[in-house]
């Protein structure tokens, strides 16, 4: 049988253990690169603190991928050949639904681009009005003008939905594609 004096010793230890678990976040809640990827990318600085030259700026990494494959869809950011400095060019977001899913034509499809030094976008937000919709496919051209030759990363978050007769999935995926400009 546990007496009152035993409870006085055990109870504070149990309460302390419970309180400690609530006060310290689990390791999984520490800052992750995925949450950092959603933040705007800061321009790198040279050793003297000035903005780095274009040749010194590495392509963004950890921001997203050019291709995403899921059981309900395939998503890609596809390059177009022949990008030239000072001339309009584009890449294309391609969403392919996998049967029994189809592209949700009622969903407000949107691409939010990240600013990229050296690329001038026609718009940083592209909506459903710019999307070519088909039952199983949606394509969205992303127009920009490279200001100079070099390697650049086109990156952004694409929001879309695919449905079956019974359910709809609403998705947001980070995409990134390195492009070379002559």
1-35 pLDDT per residue, tens: 555 554 444 444 433 333 333 333 333 333 333 33
**Residues above pLDDT 90, as percent of the chain:** 62
Average pLDDT estimate for 94-122: 96
Instruction: Give the max Cα distance, the chain.
Output: 85
Which residue(s) pair with 74 in the sheet? 69, 96
Tell me the pLDDT band of 148, cut-offs 50, 70 and 90: very high
Is residue 68 over pLDDT 70?
yes
Look at residue 30 in the predicted model and tell me its pLDDT: 33
Domain 59-181 falls under CATH 3.60.15.10: no
How far is the C-alpha of 113 from the C-alpha of 27, rounded, in Å?
31
Closest to 98 in 3D by CA, of 131, 137, 128:
137
Name, in order, each residue with C-beta under 8 angstroms of 116's C-beta and a sequence gap of 6 or more: 152, 153, 154, 155
CA distances to 32, 45, 51, 117 from 48, in Å:
29, 8, 9, 20
Give just the sign of the alpha carbon dihedral 83, 84, 89, 90: positive
Least confident of 40-44, 63-67, 119-123, 148-152: 40-44
pTM, rounded to two decimals: 0.65
Query: Does residue 177 register a pLDDT over 50?
Result: yes
Band of residue 82 on the pLDDT scale cut at 50, 70, 90: confident
User: Which region holds residue 34: left if phi is over 0, alpha if psi is between -120 and 50, else beta?
Assistant: alpha
């Amino acid at each position: 049988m546990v007496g009152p004096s035993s409870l006085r010793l055990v109870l504070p230890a149990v309460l302390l253990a419970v309180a400690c678990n609530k006060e310290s976040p689990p390791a999984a809640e520490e800052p992750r690169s995925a949450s950092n990827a959603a933040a705007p990318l800061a321009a790198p600085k040279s050793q003297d603190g000035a903005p780095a030259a274009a040749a010194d700026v590495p392509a963004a990494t950890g921001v997203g991928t050019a291709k995403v494959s899921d059981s309900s869809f395939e998503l890609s950011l596809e390059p177009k050949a022949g990008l030239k400095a000072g001339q309009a060019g584009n890449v294309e977001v391609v969403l392919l639904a996998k049967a029994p899913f189809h592209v949700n034509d009622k969903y407000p499809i949107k691409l939010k681009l990240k600013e990229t030094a050296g690329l001038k976008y026609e718009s940083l937000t592209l909506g459903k009005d710019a999307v070519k919709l088909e039952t199983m496919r949606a394509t969205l051209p992303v127009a920009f003008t490279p200001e100079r030759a070099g390697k650049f990363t086109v990156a952004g978050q694409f929001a879309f939905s695919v449905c079956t007769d019974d359910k709809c999935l609403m998705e947001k995926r980070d995409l990134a594609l390195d492009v070379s400009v002559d």
